[in-house]
Chains A and B, each alone.
Chain A
Amino acid sequence: MKFLDEYRDADAASTLVSAILRASTRRWVLMEVCGGQTHSIVRYGLDELLGDAVELVHGPGCPVCVTPLETIDRALAIASRPDTILCTFGDMARVPGSRTDLLALRAQGADVRIVYSPLDAVAVAARHRDRRVVFFAIGFETTAPANAMAVSVAHRRGLDNFSALVSHVRVPPAIDVIVDAPDNRVQGFLGPGHVCSVLGTSEYDDLSRRHGIPIAVTGFEPIDLLSGILAAVRQLEDGRSEMENCYGRVVRNEGNASARGLVESVFDVCDRKWRGIGSIPKSGYRFKDSLREHDAEVVFDVGDIETEESTECISGQILRGLKKPGDCPAFGTRCTPSTPLGATMVSSEGACAAYHAYGRVRLGEAGNGAERGQRLPLVSLSGGGDGARERGS
């Protein structure tokens, strides 16, 4: 398939791997920011091809994963109301809240609809003027323009029965938190290609300068990822720390001005809680005051929901690159994609779910399996079947 197969080419991949192995004089720790990148790395086994040259740790860029439990409980509370239709991306529907999930609620009679575009939710609102239609709007800067578009279209058409439950997050403040932590191990980043296609690369220039850390903005295919890794390794070896755009076929340095304008016309930047990490200043979007009539948190009185996360789950440390899925004693036993304990197992793009689906950690030896770079799977489990999934970052 044109524009895809060439980025999965075996010869090109092997050339890049050799170049990385040649360039690297020590084991560098790189973090890929996006869940989609994590998924590709584990799916294609790229980390294993790199051996001791590079350790890849997995970042917080899976939007489903970092959506707080209380936000999911709010969605469940809204979906349980009579005369309400909750529209959501497929991935989010499976994520359990404190007591149930959206698919189980649907089985009990709630009107929960899986949509592929936020504009589909607007169409539902136009068809059902006598019911309140809520879109569960999650994601990074990548999905924010489409969600902003949905709100703006609904507003223009006077669809006062349409609202959105917003849990949007922004990447750069999370990178600040990771790098500033006293126990940080990350020496370079693979930057989020799709996020940069919207916002441009200037924020990453700034991050790279402020922290003195290389950021190679890249994509999601094996060749993109390996090119980004090579660029970051060369910078580290040369003692440079720059933003380098390795995804030029998609990312222009100035980004997409009209998409950015749309986001700025609907959302303001706000503090936002990330599941597994906690509250990060200026790391989210919320509705502008002039559009509060479309804010589901205002329309529905679901503000105060207390939740309790599993104390066993180590997803907070995984999301900051301090640990790997194999370090968790619950991995694959008490915690599986069907019965997730926390953030990194709930969505197919989470690091734990990817390791689980692709058989990366040998059960029974979980604990330090990931460090030993183990292959294969003695037990078949669940996982798999990607399903409808939004690309958040």
Chain B
Amino acid sequence: MAAPRPPGFALDCPVPASRYDRIVLGHGSGGRLSADLVRDVFLPAFANATLAALEDQATVDLAGAGRIALTTDSFVVHPIFFPGGDIGRLAVHGTVNDLAVGGARPLVLAAAFVLEEGFEVERLRRVVASMRAACDEAEVQIVTGDTKVVERGKGDSIFITTTGIGLLPAGCALSVARAAVGDAVVVSGTIGDHGLAILSVREGLSFETSLQSDCAPVTSLTQAMMRASPRIRCMRDPTRGGLASALNEIAQASRVGIELTDATIPVRAEVRGACELLGLDPMYAACEGRVVAVVPAGDAPDVVTAMKGHPLGRDAAVVGAVVSAHPGVVTVRSSVGGVRTLPMLTGEPLPRIC
């Protein structure tokens, strides 16, 4: 339920309220409409300080017995099998990664399945086997679960919700509100692989590509980064809404500006090509095995070196800096020198990618 805007944040201008009185697909995009829904519907109902922090995971203090991180996520990706992964693998790694970017070491998961009448048991077995393999890879266990079945036509084959608990090391204080002027922005690898891999197999849109989803557990990567710099301010896994939305969340929560340099952002040629053809911007395309982090500039070389030494961080790069100008706004300098803003995602470019 991560949303970009902490309570109390006020825009400097009157922005008209959403024009929708029913849920549209854009409410699930991870962008502006999702944030509006969280702010207008969920936050007021559940008001508490932990939720209000709007991190990817909640940090819960166990009254002197340490601190845990807790998160939950639902997976509705379509199609359920895609190049480089499937809904089961995504359901494990999505939740593991939400814990990992909070600095936590994931311990256990719960999994709930909503199955549609008529869904083949053989395909369910494939999904479950994939989840088991993903758990082994991420060194977690699924320790409890639930299954519900809905009538044919009332679901779409299978939806999975996973909930995860992770252990936070003492002193870990990562937060999207901690980015400071002068910090460097680092990315662990190419952006948009997952989003475009899913699009490549969508009916009506399929195109030939060797592109694979980057779906992977980032725990050992984030742990290596934290060993390289204990002063890392925050980390995010840029899923729905992509790199642009993740950085907007940080810029807004920390009340700082972020300036990116287009030429330094790693994007695969296949992703760029597909985005050009489809009129999409890779900055808004989802990743499922990447980390974006804000680190003190002095620590950035060590963090990038540590990332490059990890299989998931080979393409790691410094892509921008935190600035005092234009707080709350992310900008990017183009190859020919012009500067543009990179706002939150609006609309529904890629529904059901995770």
Contacts and interface: CB of A to CB of B under 8 A. Distances in A.
User: Size range of the interface on A?
Assistant: 35 or more
A162 B239 CA distance: 38
Given A339-B16, A377-B326, A389-B279, A45 B337 contact: yes
A10 interface: yes
A270 to B, nearest CB: 29
Interface string A307-345: 000000000000000000000000011101111000000
Interface stretch (B50-58, B70-78, B224-232, B345-353): B345-353
Given A8-B336, A338-B19, A385 B331 contact: no
Nearest to B333: A45
Interface stretch (B167-175, B268-276, B313-321): B268-276
Contacts of B219: none
Nearest to B278: A388
Interface string A208-243: 000000000000001000000000000000000000
A100 to B, nearest CB: 8
A338 B32 contact: yes
Contact of B244 (A359, A364, A376, A384): A384
Given A13-B336, A116-B278, A377-B331, A338 B16 contact: yes
B338 A338 contact: no
Please report whether the interface of chain A is mostly helix, strand, loop or mixed according to DSSP.
Answer: loop
User: Size range of the interface on B?
Assistant: 35 or more
Given A106-B25, A338-B19, 15 more contacts: A9-B336, A14-B336, A334-B14, A334-B16, A336-B16, A339-B16, A359-B340, A359-B343, A379-B11, A384-B281, A385-B241, A387-B280, A387-B347, A387-B349, A388-B280
Nearest to B342: A384
A43 B330 CA distance: 14
Nearest to B32: A382
Interface of B: 11-16, 18-26, 29, 31-32, 204-205, 241, 244, 248, 251-252, 269, 272-273, 276, 278-281, 284, 325-326, 328-331, 334-349
Contacts of A8: 334-336
Given A103-B25, A380-B251, A363 B336 contact: no
A130 to B, nearest CB: 18
14 contacts: A8-B336, A13-B337, A43-B338, A45-B336, A333-B13, A333-B14, A359-B331, A376-B331, A376-B339, A380-B330, A384-B344, A385-B281, A385-B345, A388-B279
B20 A116 contact: no
A179 interface: no
A103 B279 contact: no
What are the 9 A-B residue pairs with the smallest beta carbon separation, nearest first? A45-B338, A359-B341, A387-B349, A358-B340, A389-B279, A385-B345, A13-B336, A384-B343, A107-B22
B24 A385 contact: no
A385 B347 contact: yes
Contacts of B15: 333, 336, 338, 381-382
Interface of A: 1, 4, 8-10, 13-14, 42-46, 48-49, 90, 94, 96, 101, 103-104, 106-108, 115-117, 120, 222, 332-334, 336-339, 357-359, 363-364, 375-391
B339 A338 contact: no
